Amino acid sequence: MPDVLTIFMRWMHISSVAILIGGILYARLVETPAVAALPPDLRESFADRAAATYRSIVTMAIVCLIVSGIYRIFIARGHSTFYEMLFGVKMLLVLHVFAVAVLIARPHNPRRVRMMTGMAISGLAIIMISAWLSRIY
């Protein structure tokens, strides 16, 4: 039975990352240019409605990532110092992504596009570090 739980937690972790980072990449690379083509009076209302829709998705993804991440930390022990150092950098980037995700979903945010760019870069860096950590585990 623990194998099923471990597989489920890994799936939940990867799915939540895909939803969180994939959603922000879509919003930044596809939705933002499309919104820029709208008339000025519709731009802000559309962006705020999209952010409101994204808010519940962000909350669920963050909760799932925290739960599955804590589970994964407790089942994996005995790493090298280099692994722990990279893991610490990854956790700092994760805190950045979580904080920005919450701020992006707030209404009337004039810096939303800039924040999405930073979050996308940090999210892709997290994925790269995670791939590296899985190789040295």
Rounded to whole angstroms, the Cα distance separating 123 from 90 reads: 10
Structure confidence at residue 51 (pLDDT): 87
DSSP 25: H
Domain that holds residue 51: 2-136
Structure confidence at residue 15 (pLDDT): 96
State mean pLDDT over 89-104: 95
Residues of the chain with pLDDT > 90, as a percent, come to: 62
DSSP per-residue codes, 35-101:
HHTS-HHHHHHHHHHHHHHHHHHHHHHHHHHHHHHHHHHHH-----HHHHHHHHHHHHHHHHHHHHH
pLDDT tens per residue, range 113-131: 999 999 999 999 999 999 9
Look at the chain and report how many structural domains it folds into: 1
The answer to whether 115 and 93 have CB atoms below 8 angstroms apart is: no
